[in-house]
Structure 1
Amino acid sequence: MIFLGLGSNQGERRDNLREAIAKLGQNGFDVLRISPVIETPAMLGDNGEPDWVRPYLNCAVECKSDCHPKEGLATVKRIESEMGRKPGPKWSPRPIDIDLLIWNLERIQEPDLCIPHAGISERSFVLTPLQHLAPGMTVPGMGSSIFEMNQAVNCEPLWMGIINLTPDSFSGDGKSFDSYKLEEALDSFIQKGVQIVDFGAESTRPNAKPIDPEEEWRRLEPALKLFHEKIKGDPLAPRISVDSYHWQTIGKAVDFGIDYINDVGGLGNAEMCAIARESHCDVIAMHSLSVPVNPELKLAKGESAVTQVKTWIEKRMGYWSSQDVDPDRIIIDPGIGFGKDALQSLELLGACQEIRDCGLRLLVGHSRKSFMREFSGEVQNRDIETLGISLALSGNVDILRVHDPVSHKRAHLAYSHVC
């Protein structure tokens, strides 16, 4: 497969990416998949100017092409020129930048062409988009997978925005009965470039009353239809995730066209594994002792919470292998607050890199969780505390699931310009 890296930090950046992708499709590249779009600080070098401090939007594109890499290079340079890129100082702003990252198994080292791309192993803005397309792919001539390379740098998190379609959410933000608030949230997520939108229709708060799959789908379907209509035809639209432990609900959602299965049941039954195996979706498997949360069930206190969760991951990996679920599509959620006390939750949050050493991508959902009460006191929504933890976790977590992803994304971009 061929992977191209696209970036823009001048003009209407997202429109530039869309135009470049369309032009690739019109000029000999069969575009198969597009990564989520991330926003990162520009590389400035030693000759940077103050007005070059313009963040990039970056993505990766998986393609097929019958042409030789040198022909491919000539094509992308022509596209860059057609889109207004002009010769200028290195690192200066540009409407579009298209790099040949990987070209099948080719290894080329020439003055005007280096494949794989020379900077691929050092740049998080290259590795992060690639990781969400092909985490297990070994880069030709480098001996490491994309995931392994991304572990060696500070990875850029994707932001997952929570849409609670429940009347009894623990955070009090259920939108099932307020269509205006739902539409307002969805529009904000789209406009501000939130990468994933996670729809949930059953509360998992302590002692919540379970609902059946039919009621869950009744709540989900209108919201999914509304969102699908809003993003129709946009190759850079946010990905759709559905949060459920009911395989019947997930089956309907996959048929509808979602991108992520968020299984709070931990991908632990054959029916859910079969849906995951036969779909194109990435699958989030959450560690939990009970769903909904039973406050009486906690991880054992005499043993490290990290050790217990890692043991669970190792056992589940064996099970997933027996069910032929592709590990490249599995993402681990340690289940902050699900059967963990405050100390255990904090221990897990401080060990994200160790959990990632299991070889799978990592999602953390800490937003507004009750463990923060121990140091925040009784506040309305704990959004400030959530943001502080998000910044501390960034670099070691692949996806951060939060209620206010717009503020988090904005704060993280500022943080990235300094750290």
Structure 2
Amino acid sequence: MVILGLGSNVGDRMANLRKALIAIRQIPGMIVEQVSPVYLSDALLPENAPPEWDMPHLNLALRCHTTLEPLDLLDQLKKIEWSIGRKPEVRHWGPRILDVDILAWNSDIIKSERLTVPHESLQERPFALWPLADVAPDWRFPLNGPYHDKTAAEIGEQWGSRFTGNAPLRARQIYQRIDTPQLMGVVNVTPDSFSDGGAFLEAEKALQQALYLVYSGAEIIDIGAESTAPSAKPLTADIEWQRLEPVLAAIQAAKDKFMILPKISIDTRHSEVAAKALKQGVDWINDVTGLEDEAMRELVCTSKADCVVMHHMSIPASRQHVLPRHQDPVRLVYEWGAKQIDVLEKAGISRERIIFDPGIGFGKVAEHSLQLIRHTDVFKQLGTRVLIGHSRKSFLSLFTPHTFAERDIETLSIALYLAKQPVDYLRVHNVEMCARGFRVQAAL
């Protein structure tokens, strides 16, 4: 048993950790058996460190099995650090894109010029010891002293709760994970959305909801000002922007308040709105029409933003315009996606920037939506990232008579299924419930 510790405090920290996990899984003779939750902590700094070094860290642990020898594994891990952007350096304390350390190797003690195991001061660092205890609670500390032969779980008890931030360096466990789909939280700046219309029309309320969603586990915030529910009235681009602009301005002004800086997605089908949002620095354009508008394609092409391409039959959704009942919905949606992605590539938008959404509930009867969810693995063959938006939708009437806003249990059940599928993002309303479910599922 080998326990690796991963850390990052520069750039897109969650992305750095995900890249490291992918690379570690590709090391010959290496099997990743379990991934810990992520922990947020203040930087551990030497005296007289420059102020710019004081950047919060994200840390986690991996329990692995390997056929490699310790120094051979160390060489592989250093190559991964450098491939993700960390350069060979002498200093040991400064900010870094990625750290990958060998925290423990069975109960062995290794002391050499290049490697010390257990990792130095492991028993004094909750940001390292807690993740280790999450994946190997029965690992026993092998060094002489007050912690000799104590389990990782026992040693971790000295700091109390993992969640309060009262441990040294304010270390605490957060909801975001690197081994499950990323959660996209929804902020509807609309009076007529099907489950929470009118709740976040004011910019300050929308900002507070965005902050709460990130605290609850979201890494992307999807902001929409026009409802696509069947009963919704279409908006002009001017009215849509009047709703969006103050919310974007409030989020931009409050960047320092976010525990993790989220990617901002704008849910719009109007190229005029998308153009203004891109000038405000948004990261994604989520177009429910699948970028059918040439002006939208040209706009995305000339930007750096990613785009969500959603299958649909009509916008707003209509019960009169649905896929044929006697045909395979997975095949029809896949074929539409392949054609539309080809159109986007010819317009200059690379496949790496495209996120495909099969459009659960848009132009599908309930049984169609269920089939698409069962076979989400098929859409990975498009060569893009995949997003599923199933939260609280009408197809869940197959399972419950409860109103849209009361369908979080059904939403969670499907999210737990999708967490084991090749899905990159889940768009959900109750982010915290899904994140808590992922946490337990991963532990089991």
Name the TM-score, length of structure 2 as normaliser: 0.65
Question: Are the counterparts in 1 of residues 265 and 284 from structure 2 also a CA contact under 8 Å?
Answer: yes
Q: CA deviation at 1:12?
A: 6.5
CA–CA distance in structure 2, aligned partners of residues 323 and 219 of structure 1? 30
Partner of 1:272: 296
Distance 1:225 1:384, change over 3 A: same
CA-CA distance at 1:317 after TM superposition: 1.9
> Which entry has the higher C-alpha Rg, 1 or 2?
2
Cα drift, residue 172 of structure 1 = 3.3
Q: How does 1:100-139 map to 2 (within 5 A)?
A: none
In 2, Cα distance between equivalents of 1:238 and 1:316: 28
Match of 1:363? 387
Please name the residue that 2:414 is paired with.
Answer: 389
Look up the match of 1:259.
283
Q: What aligned pairs does 1:12-411 form with structure 2 within 5 A after superposition?
A: 13-16=40-43, 42-44=61-63, 71-72=88-89, 74-75=90-91, 87-89=116-118, 156-178=180-202, 181-232=205-256, 236-379=260-403, 380-396=405-421, 397-411=423-437
What's the offset of the Cα at 1:173?
3.8
Please report how far the alpha carbon of residue 44 of structure 1 lies from its aligned counterpart in structure 2 after TM superposition: 3.7
1:104 matched to which residue of 2? none
Query: C-alpha distance in 2, partners of 1:18/1:232?
Result: 21
Q: CA deviation at 1:177?
A: 3.7
Rounded to whole Å, the distance in 1 between the matches of 2:233 and 2:263 is: 29
Give how far 1:381 is off.
2.4
- Is the 1:333–1:363 contact (alpha carbons within 8 Å) kept by the matching residues of 2? yes
Q: CA deviation at 1:171?
A: 1.3
Count of residue pairs brought into register by the alignment: 329
SS at match of 2:363: coil
Cα separation, 2, equivalents of 1:163 and 1:415: 26
Distance 1:285 1:77 in 2: 43
Deviation sequence 1:290-325 (CA, Å, 0-9, x none): 111121000012210000001001111221121011
SS of the equivalent of 1:43 reads strand
Shift of 1:270: 1.5
**SS of match in other structure, 2:62:** coil
Structure 2 gaps of 5+ residues are: 1-10, 22-34, 66-80, 104-115, 129-177
| Separation in structure 2 between the aligned mates of residue 10 and residue 335 of structure 1, nearest angstrom | 30
Give the partner amino acid of 2:433.
S
Amino acid at match of 2:40: R
Shift, 1:185, TM fit: 1.5
C-alpha distance in structure 1 between counterparts of 2:240 and 2:347, whole Å: 26
2:438 partner amino acid:
H
RMSD, matched Cα: 3.9
CA contact (8 A) 1:165 1:176 kept: yes
Tell me, in whole angstroms, the C-alpha distance in 2 between the residues paired with 1:409 and 1:308: 32
> 2:430 is matched by which residue type in structure 1?
D
Post-superposition CA distance 1:10-33 (Å, at most 9, x none)? 9972544999xx99x97xxxxxxx
Deviation of residue 95 (structure 1)? 6.7
Q: CA deviation at 1:207?
A: 3.3
Q: What letter matches 2:420 in structure 1?
A: G
Q: Which moved more, 1:385-394 or 1:86-95?
A: 86-95
Amino acid at match of 1:366: H
Shift of 1:235: 9.3
* Cα distance in 2, alignment partners of residues 18 and 311 from structure 1: 54
Larger RCO (alpha carbons 8 Å, 6+ apart): 1
Distance in 1, matches of 2:324 and 2:282, equals 36
Residues 391 and 322 from structure 1, CA distance in 2 versus in 1: closer, same or farther, beyond 3 angstroms? same
* 1:362 match: secondary structure: strand
Deviation at 1:283, TM superposition (A): 0.6
Paired residues of 1:9 and 1:96 also in contact (CA < 8 A): no
Structure 1: which 5+ residue stretches go unaligned? 27-36, 47-59, 98-153
8 Å Cα contact 2:265-2:283 kept in structure 1: yes
AA aligned to 1:161 is: G
Residue identity (%): 33
Structure 1 SS opposite 2:273: helix
Alignment-mate amino acid for residue 290 of structure 1: S
**CA offset at residue 190 of structure 1?**
3.2
- Residue 296 of structure 1 aligns to a residue whose secondary structure is coil
Query: What is the letter of the counterpart of residue 439 of structure 2?
Result: L
Give the deviation of 1:221 after TM superposition.
0.9
Distance 1:17 1:157 in 2: 30
Q: Partner of 2:382: helix, strand, or coil?
A: coil
